[in-house]
Chains A and B, each alone.
Chain A
Amino acid sequence: MSVRAPERESLMASAAPAQPAVTIAGLTKEFSTRRGTVAALGGVSLQVATGEVLGLVGPSGCGKSTLLEIVAGLQEPSAGQVAVEGRPASADRLAACVLMPQRDLLLPWRSALDNAGLALELGGVGRRGARRRAAALFERFGLGEFAAARPDELSGGMRQRVAFARTLLAARPVLLLDEPFASLDAITRAELQEWTGEALAAEPRAVLLVTHDIEEALYLGDRVLVLSPRPGRVRMELPGARGAAGPRSETVTSAEFSRLRARALEALA
């Protein structure tokens, strides 16, 4: 980590004059249903810089996933501004973001390796080139021996790693993670959180991490925003523990971490 740190700083410095990777201002979203209009987001404003991980926690149904889909260019806001790398058009947002959903959504007819290389193939890289680049990442992720496995032969944790490899190989400046570990058991989740922290440290990207797990947001995030119940708006900002030295088990049991968690819980209540 100490070797990598200056490199990251220089990358961030070179990006500094530009605008933040993600800018959201006064964003609202309403859905019309048979029973009338439902406000999902009630005026959210936030920014995410390149190299930063922003955690978003909030109660179920507060519009977190909707927010990510709007940033990703899959939905349009009802009002307010959203821009990715300074561009507001949905096609530009779609091109600059990659969304990792809660379910791994691996294609059952593709091997683990070919699932990971999907974005490369969609970008015009041949099957062989995609496999070569995915294989390099698989080695780093400890997935090497599972390259040829079909998704239904993998455990939940393995599948999520493959999904994460697929997300990273899309090579977009903005990563949108929507409860990426929610479907995993507690032990696997803790393991993958630690592992994700390391994987994200290697690459200077803007990351928006949506979760209902306060500990996850505080552990992985540089900053954490606590959202209110629907219609969601930012209720509180907390510093995260990202980059803390030592193993995860020490970080999340420190007094400082406990204090932050208590404050977040209070804000959620």
Chain B
Amino acid sequence: MSRAARLAREWAPPALLLGTLVAAWEVAARAGWVQDYLLPAPSEVARALVDDRKLLLEDAWVTGQEVLLGFGLALAVGVAIAVALHASGLLRRAVYPLVVASQAVPVVVIAPILVIWFGFDMTPKLIVIALICFFPIVVNTFDGLRAVDPAQAKMLRTLGADRWALLRRLELPAALPYFFSGAKVAVAVAVIGAVFGELAGSDAGLGHAIQVGMAQLLTARVFAAVVILSAMAIGLFALVSAAERLAVPWAGRRKAAA
């Protein structure tokens, strides 16, 4: 199959589906079946994207920073907790239930409290994002650390590896594919965390733009903000996937060989 044919085969189905949905939506809105302020036509959303670009870009910049920093925080905390859970049975019994329980805390409830504690600046947003993101990173990385072949661990021990060397030379590299699975799930929901954080109290960001737009019934701008959020999630996901291919080149090839 030629390169063009392969590209077409990969991209034609989602493009067709998306195009059809958008077209139907456009027709429905123009025909006046739904009110404009309830569901604006895609063309109006596109116009809002263009007309309000300065405002939206500024907000996107703020939200983007929050997402990147919050996701980074989640990566650091998530990996650290996963390693701690793996290293100590005591910690595992003590901390793991709390890690799980943290996911039952409704973010909508905790976000305003964080705003009371930390104010309107970035800190509460980062905490909300990290709170949402760290869980899949912890669970996947922890599973990866435990999934190491015991024969491989024995082999390394007879080659002179102590506990730390086992972690560094075997368990952490072996856990990388698992870690990336978790990171991909996390990065896709990081954007939601930023919006929750901003809705609870902020003066900038796409969540803020959504809040203001809703209040003023500028629905097209709200949709435009959501489009940018989606694009951000897709871009970050692609970035993490690219990092995975760079960091774990052996995984894909082994699968292909099997």
Contacts and interface: CB of A to CB of B under 8 A. Distances in A.
B154 A69 contact: yes
A170 interface: yes
Given A150-B250, A152-B257, A101 B154 contact: yes
A119 B159 contact: yes
B254 A108 contact: yes
B2 to A, nearest CB: 28
Interface of B: 149, 151-152, 154-161, 165, 169-170, 173, 176, 248, 250-251, 253-254, 257
A74 B156 contact: no
Interface string A96-123: 0111010101011100000000110111
Given A152-B250, A152-B257, A105 B155 contact: yes
A221 B253 CA distance: 39
A182 interface: no
Contacts of B156: 118, 122
Interface of A: 69, 72-74, 94-95, 97-99, 101, 103, 105, 107-109, 118-119, 121-123, 150, 152, 166, 170, 176
A119 B160 contact: yes
Given A105-B149, A150-B250, A152-B254, A99 B158 contact: yes
12 contacts: A72-B158, A73-B158, A74-B157, A74-B158, A101-B155, A108-B250, A118-B169, A122-B160, A122-B161, A150-B250, A150-B253, A170-B160
B158 A97 contact: yes
B159 A122 contact: yes
B245 to A, nearest CB: 13
A105 B149 CA distance: 9
Contacts of A74: 154, 157-158
A259 B253 CA distance: 48
A121 B170 CA distance: 13
Contact of A109 (B149, B152, B250): B250
Contact of A123 (B151, B154, B160, B253): B160
Given A108-B254, A109-B250, A150-B250, A94 B173 contact: no
Contacts of B251: 108
A122 B250 contact: no
Contacts of A97: 158
B226 to A, nearest CB: 40
Contacts of A108: 250-251, 254
Contacts of B159: 98, 118-119, 122, 166, 170
